[in-house]
Amino acid sequence: MNNEKLFLGARKRVRETDAIIIGGGATGAGLARDLSRRGFECVLFERGDLATGATGRNHGRRHRGARYAVTDQVSAEECVKENSILRKIARHCVEETDGLFITLPEDDLEYQKNFIVACRAAGISAEALDPEFAKRLEPSANQTLIGAVKVPDGVVDPFRLTVANMLDAVSHGALCHTYCEVTGILVENAVATGVRVRDNLSREEYEVRAKVVINASGIWGGRVGAMAGVEVKMFPTRGSLLILGHRLNRLVINRCRKPADADILVPGDTVCLIGTTSIPIKFEEIDTTVSDREEVDILIREGALLCPEIETARKIRCYCGSRPLIADENDKTGRSTSRHIVLLDHETRDGLKGFVTISGGKLITYRLMAEMTTDLVCRKLGKNVPCDTHSVPLPGSHEPPDKILRKIAPLPPTIKAAIVHRHGDMATDIAAEGASATSLVCECELVSAAEVEHAVDTLAVRNMTDLRRRVRVGMGPCQGELCMSRAVGILADKGVCPPSGCPGELASFLVERWKGIHPLTWGETLRESEFIMWLYQGVCGIGPSDLEPGRVPGEAPGEAASTETPPGAPPG
């Protein structure tokens, strides 16, 4: 593998390209990978960092499709195929846990029977378990359960998955421009010919021409469509999730009933998540929507029916995102709106050539969405090249973990295992010797200084929040309490921010963390948040005036604020 190509930081400008992708979520990154592997030149524009929309705000469950087997057979069938593919091509991004759908005394056992039938019809393995055996298999599950079904679910890290796709795309010639916002679609004689872009770091504006413009902006698809003069009707619903301070469960636990609030408990890395809610919101709120305490109460109350320990477990964060659903005006909650893939060719639909929208789907179906869209681009541009993204492993997933572990023997076992878990076979590119290799920046997630340095050097880290997405600094049980100052020191050493800007960078990160903590500010969580604020005000001199939401990454405190991350926006 050519290490020189596995680098996301370049911001090479081009005037023309084959395809422009708007949106840097999993679908956009998957599109960049598929297009570039089939020989197309392409540029991806994302107004913030990769995976800051719905991709980075979900529960990370790797659906086999069972959740939708009864209510949405199309989505279930899409998930079945992609689940198997993801296990092969992205093994460093997934964790095999299996899943358990439990029936409680207040639920209808008849639904469990229908659930098993629907799963098998969709090609999903569904095994009914003796309730007593299920209790032993997953001790954290509600011990009053009267029924249980085991399915082949798992967990996927959306940040690793998106970055791995983008790394492969860049290695095949794609360009990745984060913090670059598309402000307009160029349309000439009923043809989309390119985009206007604003660089949110340099404040420069410029135009790029393309043969095809692809709208992969998720819930923002309606806004992007409007720039081109076409209507894409989205149905914005907010989904909130609650992070608990440690892993309560081994398997993904689900409620065996029609999808509702707080009926999924997902283990992930050092924590676990209970979700989700579904609350319709206005389009004006999709950039600024936040979770509220009523949702937290719902998540705790309903989640405790899945796993009673949720009531007393430490709650460390609540976050939310907006689902990228195509509108169904008859569905007032968003629960019944189909999650299947919607690919819109605006030439046949609206008479606008060169413009395509891809939306809907699930994180697990991102690759299929990219394949379908690239197939359409091939037909439009007269190119007949088959897709290979279903069979070629992503960077990081070429070799099995045990083989990689043997290659980086000098590291302590715990640090070595954590690096391989996060980076797969790319872990061999991270320094395994010297002080930085064994010096921990984040004890919760076992992130070394060498891993932070590697992320800054190769993975387009432009601020502390980007770093969090790349290596999980600040995502563990302490939520950045001890690691923030260490990490920002490395960013300063690497030139990401000047030493004088460190207080501002820390303040910005504290603001982002606070957005997810404030709905939980009671009891131990309140005391801990007060301690963190006291610590950084007392030791680092960060006061209320330094906490400027929306500050552009790298700016010193007091400089003009950007609108890229509006005050109150949900965490990425």
Average pLDDT taken over every residue of the chain:
88
H/E stretch holding 341 reads: strand 341-345
Average pLDDT over residues 417-439: 93
Name the DSSP class of 560: P
Q: Which phi and psi angles does 166 have, rounded to 5°?
A: -70, -35
Rg from Cα positions in the chain? 23
* Range from 392-396, 483-487, 503-507 carrying the lowest mean pLDDT: 503-507
Which of 55, 350, 401 has the alpha carbon at shortest distance from 230? 350
Average pLDDT over residues 101-121: 94
Separation CA 34–CA 45 (nearest Å): 16
User: For residue 380, what pLDDT is reported?
Assistant: 97
Separation CA 166–CA 29 (nearest Å): 5
Separation CA 208–CA 499 (nearest Å): 35
User: For residue 169, what pLDDT is reported?
Assistant: 97
Which of 90, 83, 52, 54 has the alpha carbon at shortest distance from 68? 83
User: For residue 144, what pLDDT is reported?
Assistant: 97
Which of 177, 294, 216 has the alpha carbon at shortest distance from 31? 216
CA distances from 288 to 26, 53, 153, 331, 528 (A): 21, 12, 32, 23, 25
Of the CATH numbers 3.40.50.300, 3.30.9.10, 3.30.43.10, 2.160.20.10, which one belongs to the domain with range 94-155+237-322? Answer: 3.30.9.10
Task: Check: CB of residue 408 under 8 Å from CB of residue 432.
Answer: yes
Separation CA 87–CA 99 (nearest Å): 15
Question: At 556, is the pLDDT very low, low, confident or very high (cuts 50, 70, 90)?
Answer: very low
Strand 315-322 with 237-244, pairing: antiparallel
Checking if the pLDDT of 563 tops 70, the result is: no
pLDDT digits (tens, 9 = 90+) for 191-205: 999 999 999 999 999
pLDDT digits (tens, 9 = 90+) for 245-276: 999 999 999 999 988 899 999 998 889 999 88
- Non-local CB neighbours of 546 within 8 Å, separated by 6+ positions: 503, 504, 507, 557
Separation CA 135–CA 146 (nearest Å): 10
Average pLDDT over residues 448-464: 95
Q: Where are the domains of the chain?
A: 3-54+159-235+339-381, 94-155+237-322, 401-546
Phi-psi region of 260 (alpha: psi -120 to 50; beta: other; left: phi over 0): beta
The count of C-alpha atoms lying within 13 angstroms of the C-alpha of 192, restricted to the half-sphere facing its C-beta, is 32
Question: Can you tell me whether residue 424 is helix, strand or coil?
Answer: helix
Task: Check: CB of residue 76 under 8 Å from CB of residue 66.
Answer: yes
Task: Check: CB of residue 119 under 8 Å from CB of residue 126.
Answer: yes
pLDDT digits (tens, 9 = 90+) for 141-157: 999 999 999 998 889 99
pLDDT digits (tens, 9 = 90+) for 356-394: 999 988 899 999 999 999 999 999 999 999 999 999 999
Which comes out higher in pLDDT, residue 566 or 246?
Answer: 246
Which CATH number is 3-54+159-235+339-381 given?
Answer: 3.50.50.60
Which of 85, 158, 73 has the alpha carbon at shortest distance from 572? 158
Which comes out higher in pLDDT, residue 269 or 311?
Answer: 311
Checking if the pLDDT of 435 tops 50, the result is: yes
The residue length of the chain stands at 572
Separation CA 86–CA 180 (nearest Å): 29
What string of DSSP letters covers 265-326? EEEETTEEEEE---EE--GGGTTT----HHHHHHHHHHHHHH-GGGGTSPEEEEEEEE--PB
Reading the block at residue 473, the tokens are: 């600094």
User: For residue 553, what pLDDT is reported?
Assistant: 37
Q: What is the 3-state secondary structure (H, E, C) of 202-269?
A: CCCEEEEEEEEEEECCHHHHHHHHHHCCCCCCECCEEEEEEEECCCCCCCEEEECCCCCCCCEEEEEC
The count of C-alpha atoms lying within 13 angstroms of the C-alpha of 213, restricted to the half-sphere facing its C-beta, is 32
- Non-local CB neighbours of 186 within 8 Å, separated by 6+ positions: 192, 193, 194, 195, 196, 207, 209
Checking if the pLDDT of 544 tops 70, the result is: no
